[in-house]
Structure 1
């Protein structure tokens, strides 16, 4: 069950982000007698392999600005540390409704703007680059450490909206950023000793396979395909947050 979930999570994550919505709950169900920290740590160890494989595939075949993506990744990784530091003192029950409203707004925007992310929007200004570092690097990076679900999806939307990227290029850039944030988080979990390395190694093989397939499909089928997966992922994320808020 965990390996199948990991493969599907790798595919979703490579296309548009959000694979943790499937993989982390699967680990929590599959490891019921261990503290949740072990599921979190093992999830990061698995994800960093699949995300790295997808990132390499994208960088080789998509027009990714690796320098920009790497710098953005470093900022996001540092911001996520700050979010993680404050996470214990924040009531996530207050944040979830706000995030759901934001996601529903994103879904409505994508539906009402069929051309959103279909083709590159042209050159970007220095102000837009600075804005993406503030929104995606600092803001979304902080959210990744504070709460987490849907970080990849938020990054894709931010890159399309602020840097005029098409969906495929935005998804590719997101993978490079995610590698940086995952490595930072994994280092912390490793230091805490909450990674089940043998299980993670097995799941990582399936996650990597799913990630490679997802990246190739996104590159082959283009922005329209990524847009559809994005909408499905947003709906799934809203459902997950609603369940956590009112029924869990």
Structure 2
């Protein structure tokens, strides 16, 4: 029972962090692997998706009451993310993501350094793409990050937030809600694949979902209340923690 209490607490805090800047997997996935060390990774990833998709959907519902969604780039990203996340989830059942694990800390470090030194990045909302350029870039962002989420996962929300800020000129608050909408698609596709393959513990996943929703509601309220500057600061904190965690997993563990 204590294990499940700890798992519920991890899901709550994962939902809170994920609702603001993404990166909830930094908390929940290690907790799952720690409590169930002998379980197939695909089953733990699939179970995590149940909690994650419920929490993310809850966060979008809360955001949408106060922040409008920029659908022009977001919808193409959603479509591409769903397709490529399904492909990535299938691949993780066949190929281990060992090489990607080693490269991830360096990619995250580049994202953190760029965001830190570009002080005005994401502070104001100034969209700079339109028409087919916006659609094409949305498809590219959704496809690349969607495949990554299905295949591996940690930091997906953070990569999406950074992508919407850097590529489209969104502020961090607008980027956060768009990233959540895309994240729902990646989670849905991966969950569909894992469910069809029998890699989901539904009872555990539903417990994670309840806790994740509670955390997501608090996280989205904090983001709306404190604005883009708060989201930017938490984004940097989460990415730095992801660098430490993924670096440890890849080179020390």
**TM tier relative to shorter chain:** over 0.9
- Give the Cα separation in 2 of the matches to 1:18 and 1:136: 17
1:19 is the counterpart of 2:24: yes
1:136 Cα offset (Å): 1.2
Counterparts of 1:193-204 in structure 2 under 5 Å? 193-204=198-209
- Give the Cα separation in 1 of the matches to 2:37 and 2:95: 25
Counterparts of 1:180-199 in structure 2 under 5 Å? 180-199=185-204
1:81 Cα offset (Å): 2.2
Where 2:65 maps in the other structure, the secondary structure is: helix
1:208 is the counterpart of 2:221: no
Aligned to 2:156: 151
The worse-fitting range, judged by mean Cα deviation, of 195-204 and 65-74 is: 65-74
1:137 Cα offset (Å): 1.3
The worse-fitting range, judged by mean Cα deviation, of 8-17 and 103-112 is: 103-112
Aligned to 2:49: 44
1:33 Cα offset (Å): 4.4
- Give the Cα separation in 2 of the matches to 1:193 and 1:87: 14
1:133 is the counterpart of 2:133: no
1:199 Cα offset (Å): 1.8
Aligned to 1:109: 114
Aligned to 1:238: 243
- Give the Cα separation in 2 of the matches to 1:131 and 1:203: 35
Where 1:206 maps in the other structure, the secondary structure is: helix
Task: For structure 2, list consecutive stretches of 5 or more residues without a partner in the other structure.
Answer: 1-5
- Give the Cα separation in 2 of the matches to 1:36 and 1:212: 28
Q: TM-score, normalised by structure 2?
A: 0.90
Q: TM-score, normalised by structure 1?
A: 0.92
Question: RMSD between aligned alpha carbons?
Answer: 1.9
Aligned with 2:223 (options 199, 215, 218): 218
How many residues are paired up?
Answer: 248
Task: For structure 1, list consecutive stretches of 5 or more residues without a partner in the other structure.
Answer: none
- Give the Cα separation in 2 of the matches to 1:11 and 1:131: 31
Where 1:222 maps in the other structure, the secondary structure is: helix
Aligned to 2:129: 124
1:149 Cα offset (Å): 1.2
The worse-fitting range, judged by mean Cα deviation, of 215-224 and 67-76 is: 67-76
Partners of 1:132 and 1:158 within 8 A in 2:
no
Partners of 2:8 and 2:207 within 8 A in 1:
yes
- Give the Cα separation in 1 of the matches to 2:93 and 2:204: 27
1:128 Cα offset (Å): 4.1
Counterparts of 1:56-67 in structure 2 under 5 Å? 56-66=61-71
Change (3 A) 1:37 1:98: closer
